[in-house]
Structure 1
Amino acid sequence: MSLLQQFLGAQLFVWLLVFARVGTAFSVMPTIGDAFVSTRTRLLFSLAVSALVAPVLRDRMPGMPGDVFRLLVLMVGEMAVGIFLGTVARLLMGALEVAGTIIALQTGLSNAQMFNPAMATQGSLPGALMGWLGLLLLFITDLHHLLIMAVVDSYATFQPGGAIPIDDMANVVGQLVSKSFLLGVQMSAPFLITGMLFALALGLLNKLAPQIQVFFLFTSVQVAIGLFMFALTLAAMMMFWLTHFESTFVDFLRPT
């Protein structure tokens, strides 16, 4: 009976550590961690994945601690790694919001707001549309499988029970914030150029004919040009983002 209790205790300990990382990562990263997914669905999915991968990861787990404090330390460490993994994917989704905000400012649509699933908050119309398309492309291209495999492969990089490289994590987050902003600006570069040229043309026209309210009269033209350009460049922008999302995530989580 004691052997059975020890076996069940060890199995539950391994499953608990795996669930701490997997469940935390899935609650933060896009797709399964978005606001439109119910908490119960998210929890059941995390439990199922943890139960499947726990036997495979058993050899990587540390020994069962002798007191509750050490167990809590292990749990907090695993949850910190899970939050970090989910944040990496979430930051890459932030490039869509940056691009959408710039496009909205350049096309005169910045006053219209709607729910953006990529950021789980209110955002601009172009950013919300690109956020929905980004989530759709992740599912269509099966990149949500990459997110799941990345969490499992992270045990080769972040050993359970080992020291957490907080400095390296902070550096990675800072680099990803910079890269996410850069991607957003690169995606919206045609709108930035067109918007500056359009504003320059309106400024010159206002100087030539100051009695005409050019900015009031040409606002609808600005919106029409912006929507036309958005329709032309949307597919290219989303493919550009998807390529960088996959390459960045694969390079970052490649086991060493």
Structure 2
Amino acid sequence: MPMELLSLNDALNGQIYAFMVIFSRVGTAFMLLPGFGDSYVSTRIRLMMALAITLVVLPILMPTLPPVPAGALGLAVLLVMESFVGVFLGTLTRMLTAALDIAGTIISMQIGLSNAFMFNPALASQGTLIGAYMGYIGIILLFVTDLHHMLILAVIGSYEVFAPGATLPVGDLADMMTRMVGQSFMIGAQMAAPFLAVGIMFNLALGLLQKMMPQLQAFSVIMGGQVALGLALFTIVVSATMLFWLQAVETTLSGLLG
């Protein structure tokens, strides 16, 4: 009987240890993942989702965990490392939504709305009107197209790449983050490319008009037309632009999943 109680106690301790280790990574990732970690999502809801995902994957990931550390210091170091991986994964995927803000900022500058600001939920800060609008649409499309499943799978699949307890490849992590930042800028610039082209042509035409008619305050008179033309172009291309972003997100997440 005492041996059975001892075995049961060891099993419970092992499950509690596994839950703590897995939740350290999953919980911190859910605090930053697009759609899950946005400021308008209640902290309690994020916590409940992270707990639910941890309980679901616990039996699957338990065999991949290292043995229970001998001391409290070893356990603390392991939990901190797992939390760091979670923060890294959340920040990495957050770069994908940053591309929307980059595109929105460029578009706003080209159509004369660079001074129109509102709260951007994706970044939890003030942003341009177009960037915030595209941020809302992007989060909605993530869930409508089920790409949020790929976000969760990317976190779970990270256990194959970053084994718990193993030495973290800091150089590779920094390189991956650098490439993701560059990719987000590239995606944002590509999304805003039509507005860059139209903006350059519009400003060239405006400069020629000002040169031919110096007495006309062209930049003040044509400002309303610039905004109207920009909004009309945005209405035409916003669908294709968001589909391009969705394709880029899917490609990036597929690369993370291997």
TM-score, with length taken from structure 2: 0.97
Residue 199 (1) aligns with residue 203 (2): yes
CA distance in 2, matches of 1:209, 1:237: 37
Residue 170 of structure 2 corresponds to 166
SS in 2 for 1:57: helix
Residue 138 (1) aligns with residue 142 (2): yes
Q: Is the CA contact (8 Å cut-off) linking 2:39 and 2:122 kept in structure 1?
A: no
Residue 75 of structure 2 corresponds to 71
CA shift for structure 1 position 5: 1.6
Residue 120 of structure 2 corresponds to 116
Equivalent of 1:23 in 20, 24, 27: 27
Residue 188 of structure 2 corresponds to 184
Across the aligned residues of Structure 1 and Structure 2, the Cα RMSD in angstroms comes to 0.8
Residue 57 of structure 2 corresponds to 53
Task: Provide structure 1 residue ranges, at least 5 long, that are not aligned to the other structure.
Answer: none
Residue-by-residue CA offset, 1:157-182 (whole Å, 9 max, x unaligned): 11000010111010011001111001
SS in 1 for 2:69: coil
CA distance in 1, matches of 2:168, 2:176: 13
CA distance in 2, matches of 1:251, 1:187: 21
SS in 1 for 2:60: coil
CA distance in 2, matches of 1:89, 1:193: 29
Residue-by-residue CA offset, 1:192-247 (whole Å, 9 max, x unaligned): 11111111111111111111111000000000000000000000000001001111
CA shift for structure 1 position 253: 2.5
CA distance in 1, matches of 2:107, 2:234: 8
Provide runs of 4+ in structure 1 moved above 6 Å: none
Residue 214 of structure 2 corresponds to 210
Q: Is the CA contact (8 Å cut-off) linking 2:157 and 2:257 kept in structure 1?
A: yes
Residue-by-residue CA offset, 1:24-59 (whole Å, 9 max, x unaligned): 000011111111101111111111111111111110
| More deviation, 114-123/152-161 | 114-123
AA of the residue aligned to 1:249: L
Equivalent of 2:11 in 7, 12, 18: 7
AA of the residue aligned to 1:173: M
| More deviation, 123-132/113-122 | 113-122
Task: Provide structure 2 residue ranges, at least 5 long, that are not aligned to the other structure.
Answer: none
AA of the residue aligned to 1:125: L
Q: How many residues align?
A: 254
SS in 1 for 2:119: strand
TM-score, with length taken from structure 1: 0.98
Equivalent of 2:92 in 88, 91, 115: 88
CA distance in 1, matches of 2:123, 2:242: 17
AA of the residue aligned to 1:230: F
Residue-by-residue CA offset, 1:122-158 (whole Å, 9 max, x unaligned): 1011101110000000000001111111111111111
CA distance in 2, matches of 1:64, 1:146: 30
Percent identity between matched residues is 48
CA shift for structure 1 position 252: 2.1
